[in-house]
A and B are shown apart, each in its own frame.
Chain A
């Protein structure tokens, strides 16, 4: 019974029951796409797939650097100084979170929703972050479609370059606070590992956006294929 409840929750199937003998109920289906729109969707789908796979390559490379630096730090500081038993189990909130903005098609089922994820790093500098994140969301909204990952990475770089000295100071403070879990005197490799995993988070949020684009355009194309 428990499994059934979870299953119902996550499949998100909220389609109303449609009696196909009643033609007026069939109006709930989305209108057919124009031929030009369909090609645009196919291109968006292929683009998103390509970017999704490219981003995973980038992620693998960044994670490898992070693991290597972490292993080097463990080697120099000792295995007892870097392990999960030292993790802070006291009440604390995440310093790095994600903002979700949803683009909702006026549609029947939840699969047509296309969420957009934006990373919010080191929440103490929340005021500065929120302005930069809004800029990122605005840039993504242009043309109403997701841009290529290269352009998105360029946007992230531009937004990072806009960080003032105060933001960088606050980022440094938050980073030091996070590193202090493993003591005061820490290896530079541990700092390098932290930066690698921060970069990995940037890529992961991009992957989440690509995933949502792939699933959204797949859903639209699947509906079109069924109509045909």
Chain B
């Protein structure tokens, strides 16, 4: 494509996760777990005791870290911080809302699909969720 320049960027970026225990354990088995010198991890396990503030803080941290390429967030967790997730619009890290065991993927809540719905309809995103 004219006017497009390939810029090699990061070669070893991480995949961060904000999800339930089984999902996080599964992906850790696949080798994505990282613990740095300050014992900071690239994941947050969400359970019944996790507060919305903790989820918000983790989301903000992962989306501002330079070494993270993709943030996986269970969709039911994303719904708890929907305003934050929808207001995020940078290409990297990519935010992917994934299903969980008890909450199947719902395209109606996906932030990417909500954003592009605008192309098909003159209604606002908010009215589409009613």
Contact = CB atoms under 8 A, between A and B. Distances in A.
B29 A197 contact: yes
A56 B29 contact: no
Interface string B6-22: 11111111110000011
A100 interface: yes
Contacts of B105: 56, 59-60
Interface residues of B, number: 61
A98 B13 contact: yes
B94 A10 contact: no
Contacts of B37: 91
A88 B35 contact: yes
Q: Which 9 A-B pairs have the closest CB atoms?
A: A95-B31, A96-B31, A98-B69, A94-B34, A197-B26, A194-B29, A197-B30, A208-B94, A97-B12
Nearest to A143: B1
A89 B39 contact: yes
Contacts, number: 211
A85 to B, nearest CB: 10
Interface residues of A, number: 79
B91 A115 contact: yes
A179 B35 contact: no
Given A56-B105, A123-B12, A218 B115 contact: yes
Chain A CB count within 10 A is highest, among B10, B14, B30, B91, for: B30
Given A94-B15, A145-B1, 6 more contacts: A97-B69, A101-B9, A115-B92, A175-B31, A179-B29, A211-B94
A131 B6 CA distance: 18
B34 A212 contact: no
A67 B99 CA distance: 11
A158 interface: no
Contacts of B101: 67
Interface in B16-56: 21-37, 39, 41-42, 45
A178 interface: yes
A42 to B, nearest CB: 9
B58 interface: no
A51 interface: no
A52 B114 CA distance: 13
B126 interface: no
Contacts of B127: none
A8 B115 CA distance: 19
B120 to A, nearest CB: 10
A190 B30 CA distance: 11
Contacts of B81: none
Given A11-B87, A113-B91, A97 B13 contact: yes
